[in-house]
Every structure is written in C-alpha cells, then in structure tokens.
Structure 1
Amino acid sequence: MVKHASKLFSTKFYPYTHVQNTKRKIHRISGQYQIPDEIYSCVDLTVGLDTFPIERNIFDRQQKFTDDNVDSLQQQLKSVDVIIPELVIDYYKIPNVKKTGLPRNDVSQSSIQYRPLSSKHILGVRNNQSNPDLEAFLDVEQMSGINPLAENWFINYESGVNPDGSGENFYTTILTLNQLDHLPQVLSISYGDPEIGLCKGFTGDCNTTFNSNEIYIRRTNIEFMKLSMRGISILVSSGDSGANGFFETNCTNKIFYPEYPTACPYLTSVGATQLIDIEYNNSEKLPRACSVIIPPVGNRNATLAHCISNGTEVAVDTGYTGYTSGGGFSSYTSQPLYQKRAVNKYFKLMKCQPPTSMYNRRNRGFPDVSAFGTHGFFVFNGTYHTFGGTSMSAPLWAGIVSILNSYSLKRTNKTLGFLNPLLYKMSEECPKCFNDITLGDNKCPDASYCTSKCQGFQATRGWDPVTGLGSPNVEQMIKYINRLLKKKNYL
C-alpha cells in the first residue's frame, strides 16, 4: 500500500514511531508531493500525508470523591455539590420517561438498568469496554440519565480511522459515518480544535502544502451537512475557553480562535451554564449520590451535603467554575440564514462589543443553545466523580433531543433531524420554550489566564454568543412541536 501511495503522489513515505510507543508505526512523507493531473480538478483536499496525530482537547472539568475519602474531605472542610439527573429533569421540565414511557419506544422499562451496549452499536478502534475512557463514561451517563430508554451507540475513531488509530479525525470520521447504512438518531461530540489550527500541524492532519484551514473546514462542513440531511441531530460542545479559544493563553492575541466543529452551521453548538443562589434538597429520602460534603456554615463544621435542588441559571464564570463557555463567530463560515435575525437583534441590544478586528460578526455565530455545565455527577469504575464543562452540556441536550424525537416519530415517522432552523423559529414563536440566560460573559479563556486584557461577549436577552438561545423548557418544546405538526396536518 505504501508503495502504491508513493507512486500515486510522486513522493516517498518514511516509517515513524513514537518514543513512548515504539510498537506502533505510521508512514508519513517529509517533502513535496504531486496530485495526478487527471484527477487534480476533482480533489478538494488530502489528509493523512505529512502530520502526526496528537491528543485532542476534551471539554471537561473533573473532581472525584469516593466513599473511602468522605471522612478526609470532612476534615479538610471541602464541599462537593452535585447535579443529578433528577434535578436536570425537574429544572428543564423534562418528562420522566422511567415513569411515563415515551410516545414511541421499543425498549422495555425493565431492561434499562445496567443495559450493556450492543456490539453492533460500537464502532471504531480501541473500544475495549474493560478499560473504558472517562470522557466517554461521563457523556453516556449524562445522556442515559435524561433518557434511559434510548439505545446508546459508542463511536470512537480517536485520532482517526486507520487500523492503528492514527490519522486526521473530523473529516475522515464524518465521511466514514456517512458511508454507513444505520446510524443513531442523535450524535453528541465533546471535543474540538481551533479553526485556525486544523491544517497547520497544531492538532489536525491535513497537508499544508496543498490544503488550508478554510478548505478543510468547507469540505468537512459538507460531510456534516450530509449527515444532517439524513435526519440525524448533531450536538457539539462549544468549548471551555470562552471567546478567545484554547489556542490563547494570556489574552494577548489580536484575534479570537473559535472552535471547530462547533462553529459548523450544520450542527447544534451547546454552551454551558451554572446555578447561583443555590438551594439544596432537604428530603429524607435522597439518592446515594447526594451524600457529599457541603461548605461549613458559621461555627458549624463541614457536613454531608444535599443535592442541588434549585437556583438561578447564569452563564458559567471562571471565578466559580474555572472556565467560560466557548462562543463567538467562525473565522471561515458565513452566517446561515436561520440565525441572521437573532444575531442582528443581539448587536442592536449590545452596543459594547470586543474590537471588530477580533472577529467577523457576519459569520456563523455559536453556541445555539446551552445547558448545565457544572457539578455533573457520574460513576467511573466504582469511583464517584463530579465534573463540568460544555462536555456535560452537549450530552444533556442529546438526551433531551432523543425524547423530542420520539414525539415527532410517533406522528410523522421522521426524526427532527437538523435542529437549528426549528430552534431559532421556536425561539421567536415560543419564548417560553427557552430559559433565557441574561447574566454572564465569556471573556476569560481560563481562571489561570484571566486578565483585564481579556475580551469576550456578554449574555443578554435572546440569542447571544455566550449561551445561545438559552437552556430548554422541554415541556413547552413538546407542546410547540405538537402544535407545529398539527398545522402541517401530521396530527
């Protein structure tokens, strides 16, 4: 295969191994290459020729505790608040499907606890369930907590789709998914790279001698569009480094670094929120997860906490969570028609903005929506963890969309598919369908890199590039979808 590739591209491939994994060998070129004249006009881009796979940026913030270290935590007067599925279901007015079932569902309620993933629903490389990845655990548990009746798929191409796991990720993965006959109805993605770094050897694996960031993004967007046209809803974390992007450090750069693929216009970008003015559950019958530490009050020592039961929802803040929600405007992709009105309203309301030289307000704005991104609770290999980040928010929305899909499937035999045109239309016609987040900003990329120089956007009424349209009121969304389908004579 290497011999044929060398001949095809008129170049030479060399074998490489990593210093920490000498058993794994990959082949890359170290010079120029040529594309045959016969196919040159048909080629959009090339991938996998000259750069090397490196670790992706995963959007989560973790804190762990176990039964064994509760006493030590008490002695250190540490507090751990948790948001469990019961709060999310109550706060966002989500139907409790364990009690009510779904309008259309083929899974019996008796089979939902500890249901293993079907082997036919596990795709990709390095999917050893005996040695699971923590990031995958938190995503699956957040989705399952919202809709335990849904069947979960696990798609892991890690650094690519080559047999050894190497290679570029976004384009190749989505291209591969589009070639499959059967796919899940909802996809959740919790990682990303800066748009500006996709084809410069920063994290991507596309060749700088032929391609550019813009070409790569344009071609990958087409694959996301194809996936959406198949009726699949795609939810992607907006990032945990504010408007600056994780390519930034001390807010000294003169432009923002928006994330990809969350800035793609054919998927739904999800930002993060937090609760302030927190209230706790004082019920005597609490889930085991609620036995954690709360802060000391007055002269009273730290005690075991109750789960968070309520609060006021605002954009995440570095002073409280250590990060801000990714948001802003794509550097390469123009603004889709479905959000133009919402974006224009934002700029009419908010006169004080970052310097226009730092971003292009006429390009794709993100996030589209938001959800809780702090105090998430999950269990990993018998150990309890709390975590936060937009990596929590996207799978929460994925679980919600799987419920909304069931209502659409019952009446139309179709999924909701690409969500954004519906969501922006819904925000205009049903303001109660969203919890409008009006407090917070995304100026600081990280608590460690928060200075007076940091620029970003402010949350306000309606859509904003911090929390999007807001968080969901699922009860109202279901009513709206039913009304909409009735108008279209589906009922």
Structure 2
Amino acid sequence: MLWSLIFLGLVQSSLAAPPIKRWDAMAEKHSWTEVPQGWEYHSPAPQGMSFQLRIGLKQDRVDDLIRDLYEVSDPAHHRYGNHLSKEDVDALVAPHPESVETLNSWLQHHGIDPEQAVYRSGGGDWITHRVTVAQAEKMLGTKYNVYHRPETGSYIVRTLKYSLPRDLHDHVDVVSPTTYFGKTEAMRVNSFMQPEVPTMQYDLNQFNADADAGEIPASCARQVTPYCLRLLYKTIDYVPGATDRNKLGVTGYLKEYTSNNDLQEFFKRFRPEALGTKLNITLVHDGLNDDERPGTEANLDVQYAMAIAHPTPTVFYSTGGSPPFIADDATMTNTNEPYLDWLEHILNETSIPQTLTTSYGDDEQTVPVEYQKRVCSMFAQLGARGSSVIFSSGDYGVGPGLCYTNDGLKTQKFIPHFPASCPFVTTVSKSTGGIPEKTAGLSGGGFSFTFPRPSYQDAQVKAYLSLIGDAYSGLYNESGRGFPDVAGQARGYQIVHKGTVRSIGGTSAAAPVVAGIVSLLNDYQLTKGQPPLGFLNPWLYSEAASAFNDIVKGSNPGCRTLGFSAHHGWDPVTGLGTPDFEKLKALLDKRITAQ
C-alpha cells in the first residue's frame, strides 16, 4: 500500500512539473546553399562585437487579424471602414503566453535577462536583445561572418544558416539579423536617371498658358510634370479640405536624403501655389537627413507625392541602414534591417498617416520566406489600422538577368519582387505616353512564389490566365499573388536635384504619384465624415475596377523572354490600369449617398 502511494505521488508530481526543455537539440530554421549573389565572404565576425538580435515570436491570433483586415476593407461587408485601433491590433498579434515563457527560459539559459530587452513591440511579438557575436553563435548554432558587396563597398555581418532548439521552433517565426542579406542597394534602381530626355527649362506659367483648357500638352508624353499628371489623372480641380486630419507618409532608406532647397525650387517651377510648404522629417533608427547631400530617389518621391497631394501635410521617414563595418569596433549600432526598423517605429505610433508610399524592393527569392511573411503581416497591421500602403513593383520586368533560382538547382524561373508581392500592399507598375497610355518596358510584375493568390483578385487573375493558356508554364506560380495592382506614369519626370532640373523615371516615380492620388481620395472621405480607405485592394478589384484607364498595349520583358503581355482587364504588367480620380471619387460619392 505504501509503495502504491509513493508511486502515485511520483506520477502526480511528474504530471504537475513542466517538461524539461532540451536547448541543445537544434533544428535548422533557414539556410542558403551559397553566399547570396553580389556578396563575398570577407572575414569572421569579431566574437566580442555586439548587435541587436530581433526575435519574432509567433503571433497567437494572426488569422483573426487577417480576417478583420479583410472585413474592414471589403465594401460588401458590414464592418467596412471600421478600422482597428493600435490596441486592437496589438492584442491580435500578441504571442501565446507559452511562447513567451519558452522564449524567456531559453534566454535565461544563455545568461540573458528577459526583462532587459532593448525593444519590445506593443503586442510583444517582437523582442530585441543586445548580444555579442559569440552569444548569438551559441544560441543559434551558427557562425557569423563579415560579407562584402564590392558593387557598393558595403559590409554586413550575417550567417548562411541558423538553427533553433526544437522546443523553440513552434514559438518563433524568425530571428534577425541572420540570413537576410538585405540587398537593399538594388532598391535604388526602382528609379533611374534619363539624361536622354531633355529637361524642361521654360517657365511653368508659359507652359500653362500654351495649354488649351482641359487638354494635355503634347510635351507631357515626354517631359512629365505635376501639371501633366494632375490633368491626366483628373485631380487638377480638387481642393483638399481635411488637411487638419489627413497625412501622407513617404519612406526613405539607404542614406537617400531629401533637400528642402530643392523642394522649394521644384515648387517654384512646377507647383507655384505650394511654394513655402514645409516637409516634416522623422528620423528612424539612426536615420539622418543631410540637406546638402540629397538623393535623386528621395527628392523624386517627396517632390511628386507633395505636388499631387498639396496641401496635405507630408512626413518623410528617413530610416538608417547599410552601415559601414569596421572590424575593430566593439559595437555595430545598425544591423541593416530597414523594413523592420521602419515598421517597428510606425506601428508603435498611436496615430499614423492614412497613406504611405515606398519606392524600394528586392528580389523575392533573396528574402527568407519566414522574413517575408512576418514583414508582410506587419503591412497587414497598417492596413487594419486604416492606412493605404503603396509599393513600387520594380523595373526588371518578370525578373532580372538570367533568372535562375538560388536554391542550388539554378532552375530558370521568373523572379517576383518583394514587398511588391505581399498581398496586403497595393503595388504600382509603370505606364508612359498620352491617352491611351501604354506599358513602359521592364515594368515589374508577375506572380509570387511565397504568397498564394488572395480572394479579392481571384476572378481577374483567373481571367488573365485563361487568356494566356500554357505560355511560360513552369516559369511562374499560377496560384500565386498576382501583381501589380495598378499603374502610373513613370518616364521623363522633371525633378530638381542640387538646384538643377533633371529627368528621371521608374516605378519609383509612379508609386508616390498614385499615393498622392490615394491621399486625395482619403481627404475626400474625411471631408464627408467617412473613414479613410485603408487597405485598398478589396475595393480596387471590386467596386473601383471600372474607374481605371485600362492599358492593353505592351509587355514586361525579362529573364530572356518577352514577359507577360497587357490585355483588357487586369494583367501582370499594369494591373487594373492607371487611376481616374474623378471616377474614383464618384464611386465614393455613390456609396456615401446610399448610406
């Protein structure tokens, strides 16, 4: 009897005690078969160097977040427009308590106090701790090295693979910096100088006087100005009325600074009534803004976003990144994770701009899948809170170069762009010419290999796929998220850079223009007592699909192919087409009247 009682007590004790975690039983989380293209091994990372290690815990109710996002973004749903608060979103992305407990136990095992986090997101799904290279290597079962990119002269500290304890795998989505090499230098090519396009040197007032009322001057087909775009997309007669509430945000990375002197000269030449308008600048994660060293990308984005949306208040977010690495430094202050840096900042704000535009991106296959999904879910959080998130689609057509996969097999595939391929952003490609517009060659577009096709575009994408049949079969993912969603003019933009008018083009030009138009639509919503549009795509592919200028000529060559061709309706070259502001505003009016 006594032995029975002792045995029963032992069983009960073992059932009550939590299982012992085996932190030495590791399983790989992600790896590359070779050093990512463009980077070269330089040297081992100094063991004593410290950096900020970000840990993305699994979000316990992320499916509920996505459900809520679609419901508040679907014009046919009774919750349409009822966006979530920061607190609502934080609650949905918070990790399960067991995940937090498991992570804390692991950190303590490695001598890290869980309470000493450098950063903890509002929902607690992102935790950042400062660690040394030696600590990180032990924690992740890996080896960190310094890698060099000769093309730009930049150095970063990364690893080709990392692991986590098996007991932690189900609780953690991603750890960074690890295997994301952040080839963000390539993002600059979303805009490109066009020295072959003569710059506009004559006075804007004369230009306006020479234009017939309501007619688009012939020169606009070659030299694009805010006046051309406002005529073409029919915003010229709209006067914003909610500038006390509406805000437009423009992101900047890679030491791309904007110049107020250039901005004022641009306004003087191309939007005189905006002269004197101030740009608000927010510095994120060691970001800077040097007025004496402006970048063409930042000037382009700011000048055209503000010129279209004037006088809507605009903020430029300058996010730090791409730091030089000095081997004898004890501390690396910036780990070059620009999207995460900016997203952490903006999602921590109680009030965020109703429209946000970004003209940067990278090849989807160069970004670890877990990283893509977490970043994409953060864009979903912005949409759920009522922000319209705009991204450029890239300027490589269906893919850059020879388009081989980087999985070691080197299979030829089309290479989609990220974050353009994220289903929770609105992606903008490029058009050119007068009415009717046509595609501007090498316009980024295609189908994601990471994200499945969202329901909001199912009908349009299926219709396109039925048109092209088995063309390019095997080179793209027929069930993937199709992009772009819309398009905009993208050649011959006249900007002011270092006091001189220059010509520039690319999807980087189209994105801020479309964002400016969306900002005006948000302004109209607010003046009518309505909520901002928020995540646009469910509306664009339903009610608003008819309010775009359909583009049916052209293609987006790449990967040694002619690429996809434009057709009536949606296509992976120019999406639904270019926006007609008056038609879009009329659709908003119709819904408001019907309420």
- Judge conservation of contact 1:334–1:363 (CA < 8 Å) in 2: yes
- Kindly indicate whether residue 343 of structure 2 is the aligned counterpart of residue 236 of structure 1: no
1:268 is aligned to 426
1:185 is aligned to 354
Change (3 A) 1:398 1:31: closer
2:344 is aligned to 175
Question: Following the alignment from structure 1 to structure 2, what is the Cα–Cα distance between the partners of residues 378 and 264?
Answer: 30
Tell me, which stretches of 5 or more residues in structure 2 are unaligned?
1-49, 52-129, 202-220, 246-270, 324-330, 405-409
Tell me by how many angstroms 1:181 deviates: 2.3
1:421 is aligned to 538
- Kindly indicate whether residue 187 of structure 2 is the aligned counterpart of residue 57 of structure 1: yes
- Kindly indicate whether residue 234 of structure 2 is the aligned counterpart of residue 105 of structure 1: no
Structure-to-structure mapping, 1:138-157, within 5 angstroms: 138-157=300-319
Letter of the 1:82 partner, please give it.
Q
Question: Following the alignment from structure 2 to structure 1, what is the Cα–Cα distance between the partners of residues 531 and 432?
Answer: 34
Could you tell me the TM-score, scaled by structure 1's length? 0.74
Question: Following the alignment from structure 1 to structure 2, what is the Cα–Cα distance between the partners of residues 347 and 15?
Answer: 44
Select which of 434, 439, 461 maps to 2:553: 439
The aligned length equals 404
Question: Following the alignment from structure 1 to structure 2, what is the Cα–Cα distance between the partners of residues 52 and 468?
Answer: 30
Tell me by how many angstroms 1:427 deviates: 4.1
Backbone CA RMSD of aligned residues: 3.4
Tell me by how many angstroms 1:482 deviates: 1.1
Letter of the 1:62 partner, please give it.
M
- 1:279-304 alpha-carbon deviations (Å, 9 max, x no partner): xxxxxxxxxxxxxxxxxxxxxxxxxx
2:416 is aligned to 258
- Judge conservation of contact 1:126–1:165 (CA < 8 Å) in 2: no
- 1:3-37 alpha-carbon deviations (Å, 9 max, x no partner): 844446525987959799xxx997x4668765466
- Judge conservation of contact 1:8–1:35 (CA < 8 Å) in 2: no
Question: Following the alignment from structure 1 to structure 2, what is the Cα–Cα distance between the partners of residues 44 and 235?
Answer: 25
Helix, strand or coil at the partner of 1:384: strand
Question: Following the alignment from structure 2 to structure 1, what is the Cα–Cα distance between the partners of residues 147 and 276?
Answer: 39
Question: Following the alignment from structure 1 to structure 2, what is the Cα–Cα distance between the partners of residues 411 and 482?
Answer: 9
Question: Following the alignment from structure 2 to structure 1, what is the Cα–Cα distance between the partners of residues 131 and 354?
Answer: 38
- 1:162-215 alpha-carbon deviations (Å, 9 max, x no partner): 9844422334432332122232221111121111111xxxxxxxxxxxxxx222
Question: Following the alignment from structure 2 to structure 1, what is the Cα–Cα distance between the partners of residues 160 and 415?
Answer: 29
- Kindly indicate whether residue 531 of structure 2 is the aligned counterpart of residue 362 of structure 1: no
2:77 is aligned to none
Letter of the 1:44 partner, please give it.
D
Question: Following the alignment from structure 2 to structure 1, what is the Cα–Cα distance between the partners of residues 483 and 162?
Answer: 37
Select which of 308, 316, 324 maps to 2:440: 316
Tell me by how many angstroms 1:112 deviates: 3.4
1:448 is aligned to none
Tell me by how many angstroms 1:465 deviates: 0.6
1:378 is aligned to 495
Question: Following the alignment from structure 1 to structure 2, what is the Cα–Cα distance between the partners of residues 468 and 145?
Answer: 24
Tell me by how many angstroms 1:160 deviates: 6.6
1:469 is aligned to 576
Change (3 A) 1:19 1:92: closer
Question: Following the alignment from structure 2 to structure 1, what is the Cα–Cα distance between the partners of residues 418 and 161?
Answer: 27
Letter of the 1:60 partner, please give it.
S
Tell me by how many angstroms 1:123 deviates: 3.6
Question: Following the alignment from structure 2 to structure 1, what is the Cα–Cα distance between the partners of residues 592 and 332?
Answer: 45
Select which of 197, 222, 226 maps to 2:366: 197
Tell me by how many angstroms 1:86 deviates: 1.0
% identical aligned pairs: 30
Change (3 A) 1:95 1:353: farther
Question: Following the alignment from structure 1 to structure 2, what is the Cα–Cα distance between the partners of residues 357 and 132?
Answer: 43
- Judge conservation of contact 2:199–2:223 (CA < 8 Å) in 1: no
Tell me by how many angstroms 1:144 deviates: 1.5
Tell me by how many angstroms 1:154 deviates: 1.2
Question: Following the alignment from structure 1 to structure 2, what is the Cα–Cα distance between the partners of residues 56 and 19?
Answer: 11
Could you tell me the TM-score, scaled by structure 2's length? 0.61
Change (3 A) 1:356 1:143: same
- Judge conservation of contact 1:245–1:259 (CA < 8 Å) in 2: no
Greater RCO, CA 8 A, separation 6+: 1
Question: Following the alignment from structure 2 to structure 1, what is the Cα–Cα distance between the partners of residues 272 and 566?
Answer: 43
Question: Following the alignment from structure 1 to structure 2, what is the Cα–Cα distance between the partners of residues 32 and 468?
Answer: 37
Select which of 232, 235, 251 maps to 1:91: 232
2:443 is aligned to 325
Helix, strand or coil at the partner of 1:370: strand
1:396 is aligned to 513
Tell me by how many angstroms 1:230 deviates: 1.0
2:504 is aligned to 387
Helix, strand or coil at the partner of 2:389: strand
